[in-house]
Structure 1
Amino acid sequence: MSTTRSTLRGGLIQMGLKSSTDNDPETIRKAMIEAHLPLIDEAGAAGVQVLCFQEVFTQPYFCPSQDPKWYESAESIPTGPTVTLMQEYAKKYQMVIVVPIYEKDDVTGVYYNTAAVIDADGSYLGKYRKTHIPQVAGFWEKFFFKPGASDWPVFETQYCKLGVYICYDRHFPEGWRALALNGAEYIVNPSATVAGLSEYLWKLEQPASAAANGCWIGAINRVGVEEPWNIGEFYGQSYFVNPRGQIEKEASRDKDELIIHDMDMDMIKEVRNNWQFFRDRRPSTYTKLTDGE
């Protein structure tokens, strides 16, 4: 059961790719893990309580391709090597870690875009599978990912009630609301998004969702350009946004970076008592939102 504290220290890690996409997925995974470990150690030494990485953090964003090679990068959760390793680090630093990786299901040939959640004692709490899967030029995600049906889990960590929403999910306000109604105080959104059409939305949607739901959000994006696809620049700018929709801490555009921020969790109650959006909801009038499904 979570023990909500007045201050929650969060950490977000953004990073560029550390190995050529010509290499096999296991070589790439090892290079990305090696690059992350010093920042994980830094987060642990700084007393970070909840740490999150970017979307599919052990691999390139391979969805501009439709190459079955990348199926080999998928891991079992929680028994695969990456989650097992992160359980050790979570226990070492008494730090909740959100681990976004490519997941292979027990059913052969079925794969998900998933984030595993590890509690501060190293125990595996569960996972969230990306719900909304895009299929547009440069983002052929349906080739790689089956849509998740995780029923909006909220994880009772030692430090907070934690929700996860992954990348393209953020364009859909229904999931933010579902997570908040299920009790989420802090929601992380690990992403891989490039400059162009969506960049102006990067600092619009998560702040709007934080304000609409009276919760904290941590938004994480990778950095750099990934060969050979060159679909654009992953523009970093990971940030923490408060329940008023104000960005309080932001990372750089183009550097590997760990950002750390102390979140005032008392603000959740203050904002919700002031706006009362949950009291004033009229769900009985919203049936057209789901009619015909």
Structure 2
Amino acid sequence: MENETVSLEAIVNNNLTGRDLQEFNRIYYGRRDHNELKLKDSSIAAAKEADFEIAAYGFPAKKEHTRPPRIVKVGLIQHSIAAPTDRPVNEQKNAILAKVKKIIDVAGQEGVNIICFHELWNMPFAFCTREKQPWCEFAESAEEGPTTRFLKELAVKYAMVIVSSILERDENHSDILWNTTVVISDTGNVIGKHRKNHIPRVGDFNESNYYMEGNTGHPVFATRYGKIAVNICFGRHHVLNWMMFGLNGAEIVFNPSCTVAGEAGSEYMWNIEARNAAITNCYYTAAINRVGYEEFPNEFTSADGKPAHKDLGLFYGSSYFCGPDGVRCPGLSRTKDGLLIAEMDLNLNRQIRDRRCYYMTQRLDMYADSLRKVLDLDYKPQVVHENEK
């Protein structure tokens, strides 16, 4: 990946200085100073040894008279796969677990309270191949599978809530598959799970070959550190999906994703969607994307008339946090594994809601009535023509 652009931040910092850089930061990120936090020397050394990027930023709120600050440290992990895709399934999975454990250990020593991985983090993104074997063998129980058992130990060790996106095999319902995120408590218990609401059917991302739309609604998980929700990957393109998590009380919404650059990719939208959701819904958002190229044993086509190929292109990382005021931090690299940490004051959510009044002015009654009419078979769009009486 030596020929790939490292990050947007690298382009900006290599070409802007002084007031120009401050003005770019103010206009693009929402503040001149990124409020970068100091990391432990041991964390920096461990990250260097394990070859992953690490960065931390603060999202403070104003002090209140009636509530103490609600400070929580949140971490995001983006990474590439760790073994070739032609190796045995368990070898591939165990290699990823071993790689990621080093990053979780650093997050633990930095005092991270909640951590989230990118979508389907413990396997290659094999759904582009449309092959069932061996990729379905990565599926496991959400509650008792080997990945969840592995994470339960780390959750207890570091008193950390862990948000883990896996391919779930529902053993109680005919062994069918789901794209599922498991939320593990700092006590080591599984609080619950959420299944992906919106399934893409776009070229290589026709994931309905493996699983269909989820049946868990829009759950918000009340953890020791705050109320969190998970908008899985393609759900970020659906504004009502984001909205429902907010209406159910989410304070932080994670968007674990697998998305690529290139013509069929969504990189130009990546920096917009989770940020828009944070602004509209007055909560924190966290966008996480995997990293690297993944080559598969057999060629596959993309239904676009182009030659068959063995990889999707670059998964471009670039994970980031955004606050309810729309202020965001720099993203991680496009090409490298990384741990991004945010120290956020959850009091900021209500402060922004009070200031901007979006919830007060959103007119749910009007939209609910309009949406009900749209679903009628004889619906007629509300269009007014020039000569219409």
Range class of TM-score, shorter chain: over 0.9
Distance 1:64 1:71 in 2: 13
| Contact map agreement 1:241 1:249 (CA 8 A) in 2 | no
Q: Which of 95, 116, 121 is equivalent to 2:160? A: 95
The aligned residue for residue 170 of structure 1 is 236
| Alignment pair present for 1:76 and 2:122 | no
Q: Which residue number corresponds to residue 294 of structure 2?
A: 226
User: Cα RMSD over matched residues?
Assistant: 1.5
Q: Which residue among 107, 112, 129 is the counterpart of 1:48?
A: 112
Q: Distance in 2 between matches of 1:289 and 1:234?
A: 36
User: 2: distance between equivalents of 1:21 and 1:137?
Assistant: 21
Secondary structure in structure 1 of the residue aligned to 2:211: coil
User: How much has 1:5 moved relative to structure 2?
Assistant: 5.4
For 1:281, the equivalent position in structure 2 comes to 362
Alignment deviations for residues 54-84 of structure 1 (CA, whole Å, 9 cap, x no partner): 1001101111111111111100110111111
The aligned residue for residue 181 of structure 1 is 247
1:249-288 mapped onto 2 (5 Å cutoff) = 249-286=330-367, 287-288=369-370
Asked if 2 retains the 8 angstrom alpha-carbon contact of 1:5 and 1:159, the reply is no
Q: Which has the larger displacement, 227-236 or 130-139? A: 227-236
1:10 alignment partner AA: V
Distance 1:25 1:277 in 2: 48
Equivalent positions of 1:139-150 (< 5 A) are 139-150=205-216
Secondary structure at the counterpart of residue 360 of structure 2: helix
Matched residues in 2 for 1:253 and 1:284: separation? 42
1:115 is aligned with what amino acid? T
Q: 2:86 pairs with 19, 22, 34, which one? A: 22
Distance 1:97 1:85 in 2: 11
Partner in structure 2 of residue 239 of structure 1: 320
Per the normalisation by structure 1, the TM-score is 0.96
- The one of 209, 217, 224 equivalent to 1:158 is 224
Deviations 1:181-224 (A, max 9, x none): 10100011110000134111100111000000000011100011
Instruction: Find the aligned partners of 2:126 and 2:327 in 1 and give their Cα distance.
Output: 32
Q: How many residues matched? A: 291
Query: Following TM superposition, by how much is the alpha carbon of 1:108 offset from its aligned partner in structure 2, in angstroms?
Result: 2.5
Instruction: Give the drift of 1:264.
Output: 2.3
Unaligned runs of 5+ in 2: 1-67, 297-309, 377-389
Residue aligning to 1:292? 375
Deviations 1:127-151 (A, max 9, x none): 0100000112111200011210212
Task: State the one-letter code of the partner of 2:166.
Answer: I
Letter in 1 for 2:165: P
Q: Which amino acid aligns with 1:218?
A: A
Instruction: Give the fraction of aligned pairs with identical amino acids, expressed as a percent.
Output: 39
Look up the SS of the partner of 2:100 in the other structure.
helix
Contact 1:110 1:146 in 2 (8 A): no
Letter of the 1:144 counterpart: Y
Does the 8 A contact of 1:97 with 1:119 survive in 2?
A: yes
User: What residue in structure 1 maps to residue 99 of structure 2?
Assistant: 35
1:263-286 per-position Cα deviation (integer Å, ceiling 9, x unaligned): 121211111001111111212221
Match of 1:193 among 248, 259, 282: 259
Deviation at 1:245, TM superposition (A): 1.7
Report the Cα distance in structure 2 between the residues aligned to 1:18 and 1:52, rounded to whole angstroms. Answer: 18
Instruction: Decide which of 60, 63, 70 is 2:127's aligned counterpart.
Output: 63
Question: Cα distance, 1:107 vs. partner?
Answer: 2.0
- What TM-score do you get using the length of structure 2 for normalisation? 0.73
Amino acid in structure 1 at the alignment position of 2:257 = S
AA matched with 1:194? V
Secondary structure of residue in 1 paired with 2:127: coil
Amino acid at match of 1:14: Q
Q: What letter is aligned with 1:261? A: A
Deviations 1:99-141, CA, capped at 9 Å, x for gaps: 1100011223411111100111111100010000011211120
Whole-Å separation in 1 of the counterparts to 2:148 and 2:73: 22
Moved over 4 A (4+): none
In the alignment, residue 78 of structure 2 is paired with which amino acid? Q
Q: From the CA coordinates, give the structure whose radius of gyration is larger.
A: 2
3-state SS, counterpart of residue 354 of structure 2: helix
Counterpart Cα distance in 1 of 2:95 and 2:336: 17
Whether the aligned pair in 1 keeps the contact of 2:197 and 2:217 (CA below 8 Å) is no
Q: Which moved more, 1:145-154 or 1:87-96?
A: 145-154
> How much does 1:249 deviate?
4.1
Measured at CA, do residues 94 and 249 of structure 1 come closer, stay the same or move farther in structure 2, by a change above 3 Å?
A: farther
The counterpart of 2:150, out of the listed 85, 90, 114, is 85
Counterpart in 1 of 2:38?
Answer: none
Contact 1:249–1:261, Cα closer than 8 Å, also in 2: no
Structure 1: gaps (5+ residues): none
